[in-house]
């Protein structure tokens, strides 16, 4: 009887560990897969236009419905400058952490312009950032926008709607002028 209780307790402990792993750890791996896509060596801190298959994997939308791009970032020892050029349509730019949390998002109506620069920096104090709202983290600067994020790794997703499939070529041409540029911090330089 005691032995059965012991094994039952062990099973429950394993169950609890599995439960927490499923909810807390496995989604991070799933997010990693979403971020890098099919290729194991996805470029980091570089702007990448998504082809039809990659867009379907990341956003679940076909090439006739939207145009998208991504920039997988790692700003552990520096900052990222996103120079976005968007067409005159409905678009959004969203930053996710590598755990799937939304860090920052903006669309065409909120931005008011289709060409801007967004600087992504690591937040100086994690607890301050976690206790504040997103709007408080984003501050308009004279040359564009600056956002401080609590997570050093993540992905920036550029998205724009297509009214009809023939717009794809034009929108892709405009979006491809965007860039992600990483600048190492002074402390990280040799």
Partner 1 sequence: MRLGSLIKGVGVLFLGGIIGIVSAQWSVEKTATAMTAGGGPWKSWFSGTTSIRNPYVNAHYLMFGRLPPTLGQELLFEARYDDEGAALDASCDYVIEGPRLTARWWHLALADEDNSQPAAISLTSSQLIGEPDGSMRITISRQPKAGNWINPRDLSRFELVLKLRPGSGLNAGAAVVTLPHIRREACT
Residues at the contact surface with partner 1, assessed by CB under 8 A: 7, 10-24, 26-28, 30-31, 33-34, 56-62, 65, 90, 92, 94, 96, 99-102, 105-107, 109-110, 134, 157, 161-164
The nearest distance, CB 146 to partner 1, in angstroms, is 19
The nearest distance, CB 97 to partner 1, in angstroms, is 10
Select 28 or 185, whichever has its Cβ closest to partner 1. Answer: 28
Select 100 or 152, whichever has its Cβ closest to partner 1. Answer: 100
The nearest distance, CB 33 to partner 1, in angstroms, is 8
How far is residue 81's CA from residue 84's CA, in Å, rounded to a whole number? 9
Q: Provide the token pair at 124.
A: 């100086």
Sorted by sequence, the CB contacts under 8 Å of residue 134 that are 6+ apart come out as 102, 103, 104, 105
The nearest distance, CB 24 to partner 1, in angstroms, is 6
Select 8 or 184, whichever has its Cβ closest to partner 1. Answer: 8
Select 105 or 172, whichever has its Cβ closest to partner 1. Answer: 105
Select 78 or 160, whichever has its Cβ closest to partner 1. Answer: 160
The nearest distance, CB 3 to partner 1, in angstroms, is 9
Among residues 50, 46, 27, the alpha carbon closest in space to that of 38 is found at 50
User: Which secondary structure element, helix H or strand E, spans residue 35, and what is its range?
Assistant: helix 26-36
- For residue 182, is it left (φ>0), alpha (ψ between -120 and 50) or beta? beta
Distances in Å between the Cα of 23 and the Cα atoms of 57, 99, 105, 130, 133 are 21, 11, 25, 20, 24
């Amino acid at each position: 009887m005691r032995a059965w209780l012991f094994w039952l307790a062990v099973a429950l402990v394993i169950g609890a560990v599995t439960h927490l792993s499923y909810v807390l750890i496995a989604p991070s791996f799933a997010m990693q897969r979403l971020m890098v896509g099919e290729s194991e060596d996805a470029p980091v801190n570089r702007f990448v236009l998504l082809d039809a298959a990659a867009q379907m994997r990341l956003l679940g939308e076909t090439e006739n419905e939207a145009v998208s791009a991504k920039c997988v970032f790692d700003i552990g020892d520096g900052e990222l400058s996103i120079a976005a050029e968007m067409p005159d349509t409905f678009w959004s730019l969203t930053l996710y952490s590598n755990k799937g949390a939304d860090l920052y998002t903006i669309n065409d109506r909120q931005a008011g312009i289709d060409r801007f620069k967004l600087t992504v920096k690591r937040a100086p104090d994690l607890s301050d950032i976690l206790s504040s709202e997103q709007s408080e983290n984003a501050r308009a600067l004279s040359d564009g926008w600056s956002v401080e994020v609590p997570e050093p790794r993540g992905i920036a997703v550029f998205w724009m709607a297509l009214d009809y499939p023939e717009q794809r070529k034009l929108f892709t041409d405009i979006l491809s002028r965007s860039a992600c540029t990483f600048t190492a911090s002074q402390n990280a330089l040799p």
